Amino acid sequence: MTMKVEHEVHGRRKNRNYGVLILLLCFVGIVLGLTVVKVIQLGDARKFEATDHVARPQIIPEEGTE
């Protein structure tokens, strides 16, 4: 049986890596949450399509439909 002795630097590095992991997960959670809230607030998908600043004929209402 061999004993594996971990150096102090490795322990600190592991803790720092866990901290970075937590920060990244928080960032992803915030971005996902903001995206979900924005999509829910839009309601209609046509409103979302109209925000890309490009004139597309398929989203322009035809006369007599609305």
On whether residue 47 sits in a domain, the answer given is: yes
- pLDDT for 16: 94
On whether residue 51 sits in a domain, the answer given is: yes
- Measured between alpha carbons, how far is 41 from 43 in angstroms, rounded to an integer? 6
On whether residue 40 sits in a domain, the answer given is: yes
Share of the chain above pLDDT 70, in %: 68
Within 1-66, residue ranges assigned H as helices are 8-42, 45-49
In tens, the pLDDT along 14-43 reads 999 999 999 999 999 999 999 888 878 777
Structure tokens at 32: 């996902």
Domain tally, the chain? 1
On whether residue 10 sits in a domain, the answer given is: no
Share of the chain above pLDDT 90, in %: 32
- Measured between alpha carbons, how far is 46 from 61 in angstroms, rounded to an integer? 11
In angstroms, the Cα distances linking 45 to 13, 39, 40, 50, 57 are 46, 8, 10, 9, 16
pLDDT band, very low/low/confident/very high, at 63 (cuts 50, 70, 90): confident
- pLDDT for 10: 84
The average pLDDT across 56-65 equals: 69
- Domain containing 34: what range? 28-60
